[in-house]
Chains A and B, each alone.
Chain A
Amino acid sequence: MHDLISNLAMGFGVALSLQNIGLCFIGCVLGTAIGVLPGIGPLPTVAMLLPFTFALDPTGALIMLAGVFYGAQYGGSTTAILARLPGETSSVVTCLDGYAMALKGQAGTALAIAAIGSVVAGMATTLLIAAAGPPLADVALLFQSADYVSVMLLGLVSAVVMAHGSVLKALLMILFGLLLGTVGTDVASGDYRLTMGLDMLADGLGFVPISMGLFGLAEIMVNLESMAGRTAIAKKVGSLWPSRAVLWQAFPAMVRGTVIGAAFGILPGGGPTIAAFSAYSVEKKVARDPSRFGQGAVEGVAAPEAANNAATQSCFIPMLCLGIPPNALMALMVGAMMVHGIQPGPSIITKQPELFWGMIASMAVGNVILVILNLPLIGIWVKLLQVPYAFLFPAIIVFCAVGTYTVDSSTGDVVLMAIFGVLGYVFRKLDCEPAPLMLGLVLGPLLEENFRRAMVLSDGDAMVFLHRPISLAFLVAAALLLAAVLLPSIRRGRQEAFRE
């Protein structure tokens, strides 16, 4: 305990130096500014600003990059709420109720709840990392391929829970997503699958063009059908600040989201994504009236945003404590360290205590800066919604096209976006939700890769999923969840059948 306090004191000594506060602030500002451009999520933002940090000292460089990361993450939530444009996978969930709230004229409340949820989760997780980072990092090592398979399955099942329409359709959408996820290079054999001979598809279907199409463009197409509804929203903006009652309602959701997010964030791969989806499903299961979800339930914004942000913080745990980057973004951070001659490894804590504790303290600082930065911005964002839709939507289309193009400088991606825009419109007409599809798309490749690896490692013995305790636990959880969803709908189905 005493160690913790003195270590944190040292950390804050580093993080609160004028230079580092400045770097953190610049990082947050740049991250937010670039992150609100549609299609440009945290990964490209950090990659884009990485060379800036080569000239800084390693601690300053990492603090600034982390600031960029939080900023971009938050910027992504902003576009998800305002225009139904998720810049990265984990904000797909925020779209559901966040955008629904914006339609009801509660964009300000949704943004504020997202900001507050993020800071609550960020602070709690930062403390957790400081108190128990290294032992938690070892937990990540306990997970093997078979266990990941079970975790992914749990994540996919949670997508069924969150769908508010037909369970069958949700399952279909997940499967469709899984199928789309198989496009590209097969990790196990190096074969190209379903690429139709196009090199553009060799790395799979990008997340950005698909989400921009399915969510953003499809939304515009639907809105243009019924202009009346949309102009009405723009006029009633509503209060910017959440009332005490709303905060009271959202707080337990934030806490649950934080716990879920912190736990899943440590796991490599789909951490934040599974966290956000699971947190949403849990809220929907816990809620007394689940039908509010998808119609602008405040918990539906608070929980996934908290989970998302907790997971963003806790994915630093394996990176800082073990030197192992759990995702592409953390790999960029490791790259930034290696440029400065710091080798990734468990010795960072002992050899670079200033960097380790300074980094942790800067997470707290970054979260505070982000809130200070973003709460006043909410007013401006909401004003943006008051621009007549006739002017707004062509602007959104143009930004989507340019944003999608810039990610890989590929015009093919823009065409892909158009195709998925049409598909998204069709799905809307058929009452199919695109969110489960996105989850399938993101988790599918990870699921397959780990499944096949688990089979190789166990010499083809499928029982491995039941023999490993971690895997078994997640499988049981997934089965229970699935049963909880299916039973009522089957019963209902029977009743309907009887009635006929």
Chain B
Amino acid sequence: MFIGIGAGGLMLAMPLESGTAGAMEAGFYPRLVCALIIALGCLTALAGLLRKGELPEAWHWWPLLMVSASAVVFAALLDIAGFAITLFAVALIASLAGRLLNIWRAAMLAGVLVLMNIALFIFALGLPLRIWPRI
């Protein structure tokens, strides 16, 4: 299972063509670190293979997807839709991640959160955020 990170290290090492290793140029240190990661990654992978079998616990894709989606939605919407609408969407998507609330209660929660955040960040802390979209 750790080959993943080993490969990740390798992948990240790819753009490191810049810099010459010998004379302590910019690329030297990242390459060193990458080499170590790959070495250790292989070692771990090997150890994992030897021990064999113990699969990681089941993965739950829904919360993973929804929680990260809510953050991405925040980033995507903020500049277009303004603070209020963005936060409402984020809170709604986030509550869906839990599947604990029906849509009405989730919407209510989102509304309350929007008001709270507007009060806190815009009025109390005075962040220069636009509440409503620019028309």
A interface, CB within 8 angstroms of B: 34, 37, 48, 166, 168-169, 171-172, 175-176, 178-179, 182, 186, 188-189, 191, 193-194, 196, 217, 220-221, 224-225, 227, 389-391, 393-395, 397-402, 405-406, 411-412, 414-415, 417-419, 421-422, 425, 429-431, 444, 448, 451-452, 455, 460
Which residues in A have their C-beta under 8 angstroms from that of B2?
169, 172, 430
Q: Is the CB of A448 within 8 A of B127?
A: no
CB-CB contacts of B82-95 with A at 8 A, as 1s and 0s?
00000100110011
B135 in contact (CB, < 8 A): no
Those of B21-54 within 8 Å (CB) of chain A: 24-27, 29-30, 33-34, 36-37, 40-41, 43-44, 47
Q: Evaluate contact between A175 and B60: CB separation under 8 angstroms.
A: no
Chain A residues, Cβ within 8 Å of B9: 175-176, 179
Q: Closest approach, in angstroms, between the C-beta of A37 and any C-beta of chain B?
A: 8
Least distance between B71 CB and chain A CB atoms (Å): 4
Cβ 8 A contact of A411, one of B12, B25, B79, B101: B79
B16 within 8 A of A: yes
Evaluate contact between B90 and A196: CB separation under 8 angstroms.
Answer: no
What B residues does A178 contact at CB under 8 A? Answer: 33
Q: How long is the Cα–Cα vector from A340 to B27 in the complex, in angstroms?
A: 44
Q: For the complex, give the distance between the alpha carbons of A296 and B95 in Å.
A: 29
Shortest C-beta distance, A499 to chain B (Å), equals 12
Please give, as numbers and ranges, the residues of chain B lying within 8 Å of A455 by CB-CB distance: 24
CB-contact partner of B67 in A397, A448, A451, under 8 A: A397
Q: Which residues of B lie under 8 Å from residue A169 when comparing CB positions?
A: 2, 44
* B34 adjacent to A179 (CB under 8 Å): yes
Residues of B within 8 Å of A168, CB to CB, are 40, 43-44, 47
Please measure, in the bound complex, the distance between the C-alpha atom of A405 and the C-alpha atom of B129, giving whole angstroms: 11
Query: Do A430 and B71 touch across chains, with their CB atoms under 8 A apart?
Result: no
* Pairs A-B, 5 closest by C-beta atoms: A418-B71, A390-B100, A224-B63, A394-B94, A411-B75
Complex Cα distance A397/B66, Å? Answer: 11
CB pair B16 A194 closer than 8 Å: yes
Residues A196 and B15 in contact, CB atoms below 8 Å apart:
yes
Distance in angstroms from B98 CB to nearest chain A CB is 5
Q: By the criterion CB–CB under 8 Å, are B63 and A221 in contact? A: yes
Which residues from chain B contact A189 at a C-beta distance below 8 Å?
25-26
Contact of A414 with B98 in the complex, beta carbons under 8 Å:
no
How far is the CB of A199 from the nearest CB of chain B, in Å? 16
- Contact between B63 and A220 (Cβ–Cβ < 8 Å)? yes
* A217-B113 in contact (CB<8A): no
- Chain B residues, Cβ within 8 Å of A451: 29
Task: Please name the residue on chain A nearest to B76 by beta carbon.
Answer: A411
The reply to whether B37 and A224 contact each other, CB–CB distance below 8 Å, is no
B104 within 8 A of A: no
Please give the distance in Å from A74's CB to the nearest CB on chain B: 19
Total number of B residues with any Cβ neighbor in A under 8 Å: 60
- Give complex CA distance A179, B98 in Å: 34
Contact B40–A172 (Cβ < 8 Å):
yes
Given contacts A220-B63, A397-B90, A418-B68, contact A182 B30 (CB under 8 A): yes
Interface pair B67/A217, CB less than 8 Å apart: yes
Question: Contact between A402 and B121 (Cβ–Cβ < 8 Å)?
Answer: yes
The smallest beta-carbon distance between A189 and chain B, in angstroms, is: 5
- Once bound together, how far apart are the Cα atoms of A401 and B93, in whole Å? 13
Please list 11 pairs of residues, one from A and one from B, whose beta carbons are closer than 8 Å in the complex, sorted by A's number.
Answer: A176-B9, A179-B34, A186-B26, A191-B26, A227-B98, A394-B97, A398-B94, A402-B87, A414-B74, A414-B75, A421-B71
With the chains together, A390 CA to B2 CA distance in Å? 34
Contact between chains at B95 and A394 (CB < 8 Å) = yes
A426 to chain B, nearest CB (A): 8
Assess whether A394 is in contact with B18, with CB atoms less than 8 Å apart: no
Distance in Å from the Cβ of B82 to the closest Cβ of chain A?
13
| Contact assessment for B91 and A221 in the assembled complex, using a CB-CB cutoff below 8 Å | no
Q: How far is the CA of A444 from the CA of B72 in the complex (A)?
A: 28
Q: B95 — which chain A residues lie within 8 A by C-beta?
A: 390, 394
Once bound together, how far apart are the Cα atoms of A412 and B125, in whole Å?
22
Report B-chain residues with C-beta under 8 Å of the C-beta of A225: 60, 63
A325 and B51 CA atoms in complex are apart in Å by: 51
**Does A191 contact B63, Cβ atoms closer than 8 Å?**
no
Q: Are A430 and B1 in contact (CB under 8 A)?
A: yes
Known: A217-B71, A430-B56. A179 touches B30 (CB 8 A): yes
Partner of A398, one of B64, B90, B100: B90
Q: Are A401 and B64 in contact (CB under 8 A)?
A: no
Which residues of the other chain, A, contact B116 by a CB distance below 8 angstroms? 395
Given A179-B34, A221-B67, A421-B68, A402:B43 Cβ within 8 A: no
Contacts of B18 in A (CB 8 A): 191, 193
Within the complex, the shortest CB–CB distance from B46 to chain A, in Å, comes to 10
